[in-house]
Structure 1
Amino acid sequence: MESDSGQTNSAAPTAPGAVFFDGLSNRRRIVALRLSDALEIREDGALLARWAFHDIRRADSPSGLLRLSCLTAPPLARLDIRDTGLIAALIARCDTLEEGLPNRRGVAAIVGWSLAAAVSIVLVVLFGVPLAAERLTPLVPDSFERRIGDVAEAQVKVLFDGKPCSNPAGQAAFAKLVGKLRQSAGFDTSVQSGVLATSVPNAFALPGGKVYLFDGLLEKAENPDEIAGVLAHELGHLRHRDSMRELIHNGGTSFLIGLLFGDVTGSGALIFASRSLVTSSYSRDAETNADSFAIETMHKLGRPAKPMGELMFRVTGKEGGTGLSLVSSHPLTEDRLARMDKADAARPAGGQPLLSAAEWQALKNICAAGKGKV
């Protein structure tokens, strides 16, 4: 039998039923193959292609199928062969069949690079974003931080369905308490504070000088020193800009991009980060620094710091350590409580009570108008 080139290939293996795509159309052709000095691909006797053996390469294919491509054919051209006899004959003739095909070493390299990429992502999440937050926080202008705080404040009120408590006597008592703390801590009157009517036992600081107390925590407090210590702790987070740092951190890369371009008010990352400010934990260093600030602030007023820790433990016992409580966002350890106790022992309280009994009762009832209390 002669090929179209005129060469004799009487002993050439042949096989019908191979599948050929010419790379120029999506037409699937059932072809017959002949081996002479090259691989001939025919359909109904007509020669469709002639591939030189040294130009043929193996392509990725499922088990039991040999898929071939050719360096001189269109890039999408391929040939699928299932006949085992012809596959063996082709492999014997194509001495460069495996060139360019990933071998075990190549597969291992691909797996290795994939693992490296996964590890890189984890490292960025664990270290890259926190580092960016640490470096960017001091560079954020106060005016921009206040703008972010305004947006975060609105989001927090929506998320927790919290309305500002407005009982006049309670407001006066709260203003007196915050005023003493602010003066002791060295803050000016730009610091904003309030009590929100929500049952969640928490308190938090927002970027831009905002400190809020949830009525749920106020209800669990037994004396003004407990609430004063918590508020002093939050003022510590405010002084160290922990809230801004946490907002950048929890907002992730999308928030960082928005921060760089000045577009944060419409960012979904900010909504997530606003919730994170009152549900996630600060770092151990941030909590330690805020504790130090609270201890010093309370001692300047001649009041103990330990009641703050006692309130936290009381919430832990009643809440079982679950839910969106002060303990979940400011995890308290026995070491921290012992530190407060030791600090108080070294500097016993000698100052006047921060609030009178009547003022304390008014503060406890600050949300009475919104809850039907009398």
Structure 2
Amino acid sequence: MNAPLTTTGRYFDGRSARAHPVRLRLGERLEIAGEAVRLDWSLLDLRAAETAPPLARIGHAEHPGSVEFEDAAFAEALAARCPDLNRREGGGGLTRLVLWSIAAGVSVVLTALYGVPAAANLLAPLVPPSVEARLGQAIETQVVGLLGDPPLCAAPEGRAVLDRLVGRLSQTMALSPPPQVSVRRHATANALALPGGRIVVLSDIIAKSRSADEFAGILAHEFGHVAARDSIRAVIRAGGTSFLLSLVLGDLTGSTVLVAVGQGAIAAGYSREAERAADRAAVTGVDRAGGDGRALAAILERITETHDETPGGLTGFLRSHPYTAERAAAIRAMPGERTDGASLLSEADWRTLRAICGTKDEKAD
């Protein structure tokens, strides 16, 4: 049995910088005694801090206080009797922090890539139509703002032709009530399907259409997304991913999520299968309405000719959609139900529709 050793030192309570003179006694335990200090620490709980000899500083694994002394023999005896004296409770803290951060980041990415889409597929059918309608109205306001508040195109004659076209396609595609279609003057060739059966058409897509059937194909494609409720799924994915990223970044403001939802709606990041299904629905719907659904392939190819079909290079209708060559070939290979030579709109109605923004009809690009 080791004989007790004693020495003098200073005790710090861990809450103030005041030093308390104490006497230290090392036996089976470390006893610390002073005017206002009475401590009895197990040798298994003692931890040494890094200091320059002859100073030694000893702390307790579960106590904020510590003692200092300058007795080399006492320090040597402590080292011999305390097996965990030089154990570092916080050792590797930075490494663990980095590893935990990486793990957290990976989990967020995996959840965003797999968990959120899976949840969106389950949740979308459960969203009541009334809730989806209110959400669609809010998102349309956000989308219009992100696009720079382009003016609404509502020339009465053109609007009347558009309404008839919407009604005709809605009937052949069994959509009730018909989608709410608005046209905005904008230099981007795009059409967006939003929750609640809302469609935003940007006027350049009409300008680039060379026939009513081409534009009807674009419109019917978006109607296909409405029928499949792809838009509400996309919004759930966009909002869910934004929330996860906001959680990691510490920004949980509603505006952050709403902006991400609006941007997600503009990007229209549907899966390739969803796009193929919307293409099939468009061809069938336009054919049954009396037009040529395969005209959709021609306008997709024409838009591609004027844009760089590389990631980030395409800002029109094709953004986040499958590559055009693949889509166009599949569209042209679809069986038809139309009467050869038929046209969805008369030439006069088509010219009227093209002037819906109040501008003189010009030849399509």
TM-score bucket (shorter structure):
0.7 to 0.9
Which residue identity does 2:130 align to in structure 1?
A: S
Structure 1 residues 26 and 286 mapped into 2: Cα distance closer, same or farther (>3 Å)? Answer: same
Which residue identity does 1:178 align to in structure 2?
A: V
Question: Are residues 1:126 and 2:113 paired?
Answer: yes
The aligned residue for residue 153 of structure 1 is 140
Structure 1 residues 79 and 289 mapped into 2: Cα distance closer, same or farther (>3 Å)? Answer: farther
Deviates more, 1:141-150 or 1:319-328: 319-328
Question: Are residues 1:353 and 2:343 paired?
Answer: yes
Whether the aligned pair in 2 keeps the contact of 1:312 and 1:332 (CA below 8 Å) is no
1:319-334 matched pairs, under 5 angstroms: 319-321=307-309, 322=313, 324-334=315-325
Structure 1 residues 120 and 79 mapped into 2: Cα distance closer, same or farther (>3 Å)? Answer: farther
Whether the aligned pair in 2 keeps the contact of 1:70 and 1:77 (CA below 8 Å) is yes
After TM superposition, give the deviation of residue 138 of structure 1 in Å. Answer: 0.7
Compute the TM-score of the two structures, normalised by the length of structure 1. Answer: 0.76
Deviations 1:232-288 (A, max 9, x none): 1000000000001111110117879xxxxxxxxx76523321231112421112112
Deviates more, 1:166-175 or 1:134-143: 166-175
After TM superposition, give the deviation of residue 79 of structure 1 in Å. Answer: 4.3
Which residue identity does 1:58 align to in structure 2?
A: R
5+ residue gaps, structure 2: 245-253
The aligned residue for residue 368 of structure 1 is 358
How far apart in 2 are the matches of 1:62 and 1:281?
56
How far apart in 1 are the matches of 2:307 and 2:51?
59
> CA RMSD for the aligned pairs?
4.0
The aligned residue for residue 3 of structure 1 is none
The aligned residue for residue 260 of structure 1 is none
Which residue identity does 1:168 align to in structure 2?
A: P
Deviates more, 1:352-361 or 1:28-37: 28-37
Deviations 1:308-357 (A, max 9, x none): 2322232222132425311114343422211111115x667525211222
How far apart in 1 are the matches of 2:86 and 2:209?
76
Deviations 1:193-250 (A, max 9, x none): 1211122221011111112210122222222121111111000000000001111110
How far apart in 1 are the matches of 2:297 and 2:57?
71
The aligned residue for residue 291 of structure 1 is 279
The aligned residue for residue 343 of structure 1 is 334
1:196-215 matched pairs, under 5 angstroms: 196-215=184-203
After TM superposition, give the deviation of residue 56 of structure 1 in Å. Answer: 3.6
Identity value in percent: 35
How far apart in 1 are the matches of 2:191 and 2:135?
19
Which residue identity does 1:134 align to in structure 2?
A: N
5+ residue gaps, structure 1: 1-6, 257-265
How far apart in 1 are the matches of 2:38 and 2:212?
92
1:157-306 matched pairs, under 5 angstroms: 157-160=144-147, 161-252=149-240, 268-306=256-294
Whether the aligned pair in 2 keeps the contact of 1:281 and 1:330 (CA below 8 Å) is yes
Aligned residues: 344
The aligned residue for residue 251 of structure 2 is none
The aligned residue for residue 78 of structure 2 is 90
Please point out which of 54, 58, 73 is paired with 2:47. Answer: 58
Structure 1 residues 182 and 249 mapped into 2: Cα distance closer, same or farther (>3 Å)? Answer: same
After TM superposition, give the deviation of residue 84 of structure 1 in Å. Answer: 8.2
Structure 1 residues 372 and 179 mapped into 2: Cα distance closer, same or farther (>3 Å)? Answer: closer
Which residue identity does 2:217 align to in structure 1?
A: G
Please point out which of 299, 313, 316 is paired with 2:301. Answer: 313
Structure 1 residues 292 and 97 mapped into 2: Cα distance closer, same or farther (>3 Å)? Answer: same
